[in-house]
A and B are shown apart, each in its own frame.
Chain A
Amino acid sequence: MTAAILIAAMALTTMALRFLPFLIFGKNTPEYISYLGRVLPQAIIALLVVYCLREVSFLSSPFGIPELVAGAFVVGMQVWKRNAVLSILLGTAVYMLLIRL
């Protein structure tokens, strides 16, 4: 029962965070919020990349080499083919191979 209440609390709080900006600014979006809406995506994707790599240690073996090589591979594939599905699947395969070498 307590568990159900806690799960409900997590669900409702998460929903509130997702819905609040729409409820507050949805009808009448201030220019400043629209501006943030335009520039935030690029900045946040950069943040998410760093977030994923936050636990990688570049000072001790294997020095983040699998992440760097596979990451560079994804960038290269994306520049070359512009196909995200292909870049991601092959990049992941490269990473899985590198950590098994």
Chain B
Amino acid sequence: MALLLFDFARFMIFPIMNEKSLGIKTREVIGQAFYRSVPVMAGYIVLGIGFGILLRNAGFGVIWAFAMSALIYAGSMQYVGIGLLTGGASVVTTIITTIMVNARHLFYSISMIDKYKGAGKFKPYMIFALTDETYSLLCEDRGPSAETLNLYRFFVSLFNQCYWVTGSVLGSLLGSILPFSTEGIEFSMTALFIASFTEQWISSKEHVPALTGLASTVLCLLVFGPQKFLIPSMLLITFVLSIIRKREVAKA
């Protein structure tokens, strides 16, 4: 296990550090990225532990936990994936389920196309690591300065994945012998999104998109129920926002 983490560090982190020879500015940016990622730490480690425990109980040990968190890196999909692994699902079922659960990532990527332009060598990893939480940290964040923005985004993305992988591995190794009750700590994810929502609301004059998102999602939750409302909500949001744009274009 330690070897795997070591390899991860050697191939993912050290090349970048060597290249920039860790100038003071780079160090500062990494520090700011770390600070920005702190709210995700608690949530990812706890949710990761939960995943590691469930996967272990399903008969897949630490290597599997590490592999899934390193390669798939999509929280809810990994929870669903445990069921697919134990239920003897086919490859086709697995692919279709993954598309259903992760379709929202299409929307995250669409809204980052312009922002990630010019991210160069950081771009592939930043796209790979665009989870719900990383998205909510980075979608409106301009970082410490324009020239270090992509370095900053890269490290926020990387720190978040480190927490997730660490949590999964810990859960798999420690099992359910944790000495303290962490019940309720999962609220940190909710709090993260509420804080992002509030910050965007304060810093933007345009509230129509936020209200559209809120109203569409609540409506779809009531109509489709808590298991199936995510994709209808996304489609409704896109539909409503498209109509609003058409009207504005027609006015202008």
A residues within 8 Å of B by Cβ?
A: 2-3, 5-11, 13-15, 17-22, 25-26, 29, 32-55, 67, 70-71, 74-75, 77-79, 82, 84-85, 87-89, 91-92, 95-96, 99-100
Q: Are A95 and B98 CB-contacts (below 8 A) given A36-B110, A44-B108? A: no
| Given A7-B67, A41-B111; A96-B84 close (CB under 8 Å) | no
Contacts of A36 in B (CB 8 A): 110-111, 238, 241-242
Q: List 6 A-B contacts (CB under 8 A).
A: A7-B64, A18-B128, A36-B110, A54-B226, A95-B187, A100-B184
Q: Contact between A42 and B200 (Cβ–Cβ < 8 Å)?
A: yes
Q: Which residues of A contact B77 (CB under 8 A)?
A: 10, 14
Contact A19 B183 (CB under 8 A): no
A96 to B39 Cα, complex, angstroms = 15
Contact across chains for A54 and B113 when beta carbons are under 8 A apart: no
Tell which of A5, A37, A49, A67 has the most Cβ of chain B within 10 Å.
Answer: A49
Does B7 count as interface, using CB distance less than 8 angstroms?
no
Q: How far is the CA of A15 from the CA of B206 in the complex (A)?
A: 32
Point out which of A25, A35, A92 has the most chain B C-beta atoms below 10 A from its C-beta: A92
In the complex, whether B62 has a CB less than 8 A from a CB of chain A is no
Report which of A19, A48, A49, A95 forms a contact with B127, defined as CB distance below 8 A. Answer: A19
Chain A proximity of B172: nearest CB distance (Å)? 14
Shortest Cβ distance from residue B81 to the other chain A in the assembled complex, whole angstroms: 5
Q: In the assembly, what is the distance between CA of A91 and CA of B198, in Å?
A: 13
Q: Which of B11-19, B145-153, B212-220 contacts A (4 or more CB under 8 A)?
A: B212-220
**Least distance between A53 CB and chain B CB atoms (Å):** 7
Contacts of A33 in B (CB 8 A): 110, 113
Whether the pair A46, B39 counts as a contact (CB closer than 8 A) is: no
Q: Are A13 and B95 in contact (CB under 8 A)?
A: yes
Q: CA A54 – CA B109 in complex, angstroms?
A: 24
> Residue on B with the closest CB to A8?
B71
Instruction: Please list the residues of chain B having a beta carbon within 8 angstroms of any beta carbon in chain A.
Output: 35-36, 38-39, 42, 60, 64, 67-68, 71-74, 77-78, 81, 84-85, 88-89, 91, 94-95, 98-99, 102-117, 123, 127-128, 130, 132, 135-136, 139-140, 183-185, 187-202, 204, 206-214, 216-218, 221, 226, 229-230, 233-234, 237-238, 241-242, 245
> Known contacts A39-B209, A41-B200, A85-B35; is A70 also within 8 Å of B187 by CB?
yes
In the complex, the answer to whether A7 meets B184 with C-beta atoms within 8 Å is no
CB-CB under 8 A for A22 and B127, given A13-B102, A36-B111, A42-B204 = yes
Whether A99 pairs with B184 at a CB distance below 8 angstroms is yes
Query: Inside 8 A of A87's CB, which chain B residues have their CB?
Result: 191, 195, 198
Question: Is A45 in contact with B114, judged by CB distance below 8 angstroms?
Answer: no
Structural contact, A71 and B194, CB atoms closer than 8 A? yes
**B210 nearest in chain A by CB position:** A42
